């Protein structure tokens, strides 16, 4: 199965479908990521705060997969924002992952109240120049945060990783991304199981029409919208199900019926209010 790749604004390429490790138990991470790599995933979305970079690194090392066939993302946690603290945090992440570089390093949340995200963005640019990460981006950044870092450095993030699922479709930030050449990644692409997404008639009808599951329809909706995503599951069967999404295509009508589910319904924190 060939996962399409997307070319980022710095020329790097990223597999559009990956595997995320939020809330994956650190003790089980090596096994779960090994399963994901065996299923065929080559793009892993990690973060320092998930506490499981060591398990991700062990699975990568044990897999024997050539480094240039993998795309590994990790993220700078809020309390490490700044200059030296961000450099140290990146070094620690690389050490835990057992890697010389990651493919993508993100500022996890803007935390505008700390007023360190512009400094952090400048530091990420330096880390990229130093070869510790191939690409740099942000997560949970709203328009005001993006405007500030772009005006302050002239560097447009390769990606903004946002909460994004059918009930919370992020149309404005997607439009802004398209305007400035910044790709959008979806976190919680299946709504994190926090609302009954899979019972929506639009998803059920499309699933029935294609002989697939509502989860597979949701993943296709993201892919056909040009979104990069990495749904998470501890179950190997679901990992395989979520990866088996390249044998059918949603029609324009089916896409429109899923687009119509957008109702501004978050399942996670509002980045403008987050204080963790
Ligand atoms: P998700 O939308 O991927 O949902 C995961 C839930 O869906 C799990 O409970 C899982 O059991 C269930 N699920 C998965 N596949 C299924 C299937 N085929 N059928 C039925 N249920 C299924 O939520 P997520 O894990 O929060 O998001 C994906 C990734 O995004 C994370 O693992 C992480 O890498 C990233 N993320 C980033 C941020 C951020 O702030 N940047 C926040 C949350 C998550």
Question: pLDDT tens, 183-235?
Answer: 999 999 999 999 999 999 999 999 999 999 999 999 999 999 999 999 999 99
Query: In the chain, where do the E strands start and end?
Result: 5-7, 13-15, 19-20, 43-45, 71-76, 102-107, 133-139, 159-163, 183-187, 228-229
- Of the candidates 50, 105, 117, 195, the residue annotated as catalytic is 50
Token code pair at residue 242:
């979520």
> Which atom of ligand 1 is the closest one to the Cα of 242?
18
pTM: 0.98
Taking a C-beta distance cutoff of 8 angstroms, is the pair 12, 103 a contact?
A: yes
Average the pLDDT over 244-268 and give the result. 98
Assigned token pair, 77: 């946690």
Say whether 162 sits in a helix, a strand or coil. Answer: strand
Ligand 1 centroid to residue 145 C-alpha, Å:
25
Output DSSP code: residue 26. Answer: H
What is the rounded distance in angstroms from the CA atom of residue 221 to the CA atom of residue 166? 8
Kindly state the helix (H) or strand (E) to which residue 163 belongs, with its residue range: strand 159-163
Q: How far is the CA of 189 from the centre of ligand 1 (A)?
A: 6
CA of 242 to the centre of ligand 1 (A): 11
User: Percent of the chain, pLDDT > 90?
Assistant: 99
Q: Span 69-78, mean pLDDT?
A: 98
Q: What mean pLDDT do residues 84-98 have?
A: 98
- Average per-residue pLDDT for the chain: 98
Catalytic residue flag (residue 195): no
- Does ligand 1 come within 6 angstroms of the Cβ of 229? no
Q: What is the pLDDT of residue 2?
A: 87
Residue nearest to atom 24 of ligand 1 (CA): 188
Cα angle at 205 between 200 and 210, to 5 degrees? 130
- CA of 192 from ligand 1 middle (Å) equals 5
What is the fold, at CATH topology level, of the domain defined by 5-195+226-234? TIM Barrel (3.20.20)
Spacing of C-alpha 31 from chain mean position: 21
CA of 168 from ligand 1 middle (Å) equals 14
Pocket test for ligand 1, best of 192, 237, 240, 241 (most atoms within 8 A of CB): 192
Q: What is the mean pLDDT of residues 170-190?
A: 98
- Structural domain boundaries in the chain: 5-195+226-234
Q: Is the dihedral of CA 199, 203, 206, 210 positive or negative?
A: negative
Residue 14's pLDDT is 98
Share of the chain above pLDDT 70, in %: 100
- For 8-35, write each residue's pLDDT tens digit: 999 999 999 999 999 999 999 999 999 9
Gap between the Cα atoms of 72 and 100, Å rounded: 11
Given ligand 1 and candidates 32, 52, 232, which is best to mutate, with the most ligand atoms within 8 Å of its CB? Answer: 232
The finding on whether 45 has its CB within 6 A of some atom of ligand 1 is: yes
20 lines ligand 1 (CB under 6 A): yes
CB 33 within 8 A of CB 21: yes
Give the whole-angstrom CA distance, residue 7 versus residue 168.
25
Q: What residue's CA is closest to ligand 1, atom 10? A: 233
CA distances from 135 to 73, 74, 104, 114, 125 (A): 9, 11, 5, 24, 9
Is residue 30 within 6 Å of ligand 1 at its C-beta?
no
CB 231 near ligand 1, within 6 Å: yes
């Amino acid at each position: 199965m060939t996962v399409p790749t997307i070319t980022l604004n710095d020329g790097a390429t990223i597999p559009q479908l990956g595997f995320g490790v939020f809330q994956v138990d650190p003790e089980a991470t090596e096994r779960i990521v090994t399963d994901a790599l065996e299923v065929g995933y080559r793009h892993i979305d990690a973060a320092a705060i998930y506490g499981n970079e060591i398990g991700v690194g062990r699975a990568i090392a044990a897999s024997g997969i050539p480094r240039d066939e993998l795309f590994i993302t990790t993220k700078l946690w809020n309390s490490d924002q700044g200059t030296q603290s961000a450099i140290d945090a990146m070094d620690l992440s690389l050490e835990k992952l057992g890697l010389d570089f990651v493919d993508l390093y993100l500022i996890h949340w803007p935390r505008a109240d700390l007023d360190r995200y512009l400094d952090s963005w400048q530091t990420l640019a330096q880390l990229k120049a130093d070869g510790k990460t191939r690409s740099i981006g942000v997560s949970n950044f709203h328009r005001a945060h993006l405007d500030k870092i772009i005006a302050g450095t002239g560097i447009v993030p390769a990606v903004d990783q946002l909460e994004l699922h059918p009930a919370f479709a992020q149309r404005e930030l997607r439009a802004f991304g398209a305007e400035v050449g910044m790709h959008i990644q979806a976190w919680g692409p299946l709504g994190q199981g926090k609302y009954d997404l899979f019972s929506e008639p639009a998803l059920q009808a499309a699933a029935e029409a294609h002989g697939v599951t509502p989860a597979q329809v949701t993943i296709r909706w993201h892919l056909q919208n040009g979104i990069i995503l990495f749904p998470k599951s501890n179950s190997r069967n679901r990992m395989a199900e979520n990866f088996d999404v390249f044998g059918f295509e949603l029609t324009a009508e089916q896409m429109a019926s899923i687009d119509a589910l957008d109702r501004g319904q978050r399942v996670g924190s509002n980045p403008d209010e987050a204080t963790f």
